[in-house]
Amino acid sequence: MSSSLSHSEKWSLLLLTGASLAVIANSFDGGGAPLVASLAFSTLAFSMTYAFVRWSGPSFVKAGLKGRDMSKLIPKEIPEALGAVAASVYILVLMAFIPFAFYKDIVAATSGGGNRDVVITISEVETGRFLHRFPHSKLSSYQSALNTLQTTTILGMADDILDLRWRHKFFIPAIASLPLLIVYYVDFGVTSVVVPNFLVQYMPNQTRLINLSFLYYLYLSALSIFAPNSINILAGVNGIEVGQALVVAVLLILNSSLYLVPFPGNPVLSNGYATHPHPATDSHLLTLYLLLPFLGVSAALYIHNRYPARVFVGDTYCYVAGMTFAVVAIMAHFSKTLLLLLIPQIVNFVYSTPQLFKIIPCPRHRLPKFNARTGMLEPSVTPWPDDRPPSKLLTTVFFTLEKLHLLQVTVNPKTNRISSTSNLTIINLWLVWRGPMREDQLTRELLIMQSVCGLFGLFVRHTMALLIFSVDNRGQYGQGHASPV
C-alpha cells in the first residue's frame, strides 16, 4: 500500500480544497454566513484528513503504532491509531471556524453597525465595557466543547500509545468531560427541570421547577462516559467504528436541521418568539457547526478504514466520536434524543455487561473469528474447559438465552456439558442470527441496522414530542432545560 496520493486523488483533493477555501473566504467577506462557512470547512476537513491519514501512515508504523488485521487471509500489519489525525484536523477546523460563528460580536464591538474599519474611540477602550457588553456565553460554550474534545484527544492518544488498563480507560471520558461540565456550571448552571403538571400538586409549595443540583451533573457525566465507551466496545470489524459514528452524526444533523426549517403550524408565542422558526434554533445551529466538520473528517477516515482496511482508527477516534455526540447533546439539551440514536450501542453494552464486569470470562478481543477456509466471519466464542465448566445457574441461563436466539451454545457430546458460548457482543449475535458472512457484508448490515434503529428513534422522539406538546406548549425546549410552564 502506497502512502502517497494517486494522481486523481491529488487533483480531486486540490480542487475540493480550493473550492472550500474560496467559499470560506467569500462567506467571511460577505458579513458571515456561518452555515455556508461550516459546510466549506467540513469539505476542507475532509480533504485534509484524507491526505494526512494517507501521508502519516508510515510514521505511525515506524513509531510502533501498527496492528495486524486478523480477519484476512494474509494478516498484514497496518498503521494503527490514525483516528488521532482525524481528531486533530477536526479540532483545528473547529478553531478556525470561531471567527465565522461569532462574527456578529466583532462587528458590534468595533463599530456597532457592521463597518469594521472604524477605530474604537478612546473612552470605549478605556472602560472596556463597550467591548464586553455582548453575551459571550455561546463562545464560551463552544470553547468548552473544544476543550473537552481536546482533552479527549490527549487522553485517547495516551491510551493508544501506552495501552492503558481497562479501569483507567473507562474514566478517560469522565475526566475529559470536566471542562464542559465546569463551564456549564459556571456559565449556565441551570440544573432545574420542569415538574409535569399532574405532579405539581404533590410538590412542596407546589413548585413547578425541581432543582436536580449535582444529580444533574452526575447524569451529564454518565452520558459523557457512556457515549465514548459504548462506541469503543462496538468495534473489531473493518469500518464499524467510523461507520456507526457516521450514521449517528448524519441522524443528529437530520434532527437538528428539522429545527431550522420554519414549521408552518408552529403557534405564535406571547413573547414574540414566533419570528424565529423555533426557540431552540441557536442550539441546533451550534450542533450543526460541531457535527458537520466531524462528518467531514469521519468520511475521509472511513474511506481508509472500510473493508479492506488500510488503517485502524484506534481508541482516540472512538472517544472523540462519542464525546462529540455527548457534547452536542449536553449543549443543545437533547440527551434523550441521543440515547434513542445509540440504541444498538446501549443494547451492545447491556448485552456485554456479563463479560465486561467479569461475571463470565472475557477474552482480550471479542471480535468475530475469521474462517480462513470459507473467507467468512463466524461468531467468536468463550471456551468453557472441562475442568472449569459454567455453574448450574449459568448453564440454565445459557440454555434459556439460546432458546431466545440470544446466544450460540456448543455442547460437548461426550460430557454433555457446555464447551463454549458465543462472545457477548451484538456483532457476534448478528452472526449467530444471520450465519457466517463476509466482513464487508457484516459491516454493511450492522450499519443498516444502526440507521433503521436511529430513524425509528427519531420518529418516536418527534411523535412523543407532539404528545407532550399537547400537554405543555413549550415541551420542545428540550429535556433538562428549565423551561417555563
List residues binding a copy of itself (CB under 8 A).
56, 59-60, 62-65, 84, 88, 91-92, 95-96, 98-99, 102-103, 105-106, 109-110, 119-120, 122-123, 125-126, 128, 131-132, 135-137, 139-140, 143-144, 146-147, 150-151, 153-155, 157-158, 161-163, 175, 178-179, 182-183, 185-190, 192, 207-209, 211, 271, 482-485
Q: What is the dihedral of CA 146, 147, 150, 155, to 10 degrees?
A: -150
- Closest distance to a copy of itself from the beta carbon of 103 (Å): 8
Return the number of the residue (266 or 419) whose C-beta is nearest a copy of itself. 266
C-beta closer to a copy of itself: residue 134 or 399: 134
Query: Which of 118/372 has CB closer to a copy of itself?
Result: 118
Least gap, CB of 211 to a copy of itself (angstroms): 6
Q: How far is the CB of 64 from a copy of itself (least distance, A)?
A: 5
User: In this complex, which beta carbon is closest to a copy of itself, that of residue 183 or of residue 300?
Assistant: 183
- Closer Cβ to a copy of itself, 7 or 364, answer by number: 364
CB 443 within 8 A of CB 240: yes
**Nearest residue (CB) to a copy of itself, 443 versus 483:** 483
Which residue's CB is nearer to a copy of itself, number 155 or number 338? 155
Q: How far is the CB of 42 from a copy of itself (least distance, A)?
A: 18
Question: Smallest distance, Å, CB 198 to a copy of itself?
Answer: 19
Residue 238 CB contacts under 8 Å (≥ 6 apart), including other chains? 69, 71, 305, 306, 307, 308, 309, 439, 440, 443
State the nearest-atom distance from the C-beta of 136 to a copy of itself, in Å: 4
Do the beta carbons of residue 351 and residue 360 sit within 8 Å? no
| 184/189 Cα distance (integer angstroms) | 6
- Provide the minimum distance between the beta carbon of 373 and a copy of itself in the complex, in angstroms, as a whole number: 36
Closest CA to 70 of 419, 444, 353, 364: 364
**Residue carrying C-alpha cell 478517560:** 172
Least Cβ distance, residue 120 to a copy of itself (angstroms):
7
**Residue 150 or 450 with smaller CB distance to a copy of itself:** 150
CB 178 to a copy of itself: min, Å: 5
Residue 71: all three cell numbers together? 480477519
| Rounded CA separation 7/161 (Å) | 33
Pick 186 or 359: Cβ nearer a copy of itself: 186
Q: Are 89 and 297 in contact (CB under 8 A)?
A: yes
Separation of alpha carbons 305 and 445, rounded Å: 17
Q: Which is nearer to a copy of itself, 60 or 370 (CB)?
A: 60
CA 142 to CA 59: how far, in whole Å? 32
Smallest separation (angstroms) from a copy of itself to the CB of 99: 5
Q: Which is nearer to a copy of itself, 132 or 388 (CB)?
A: 132
Question: CB of residue 121 vs a copy of itself: minimum separation in angstroms?
Answer: 9
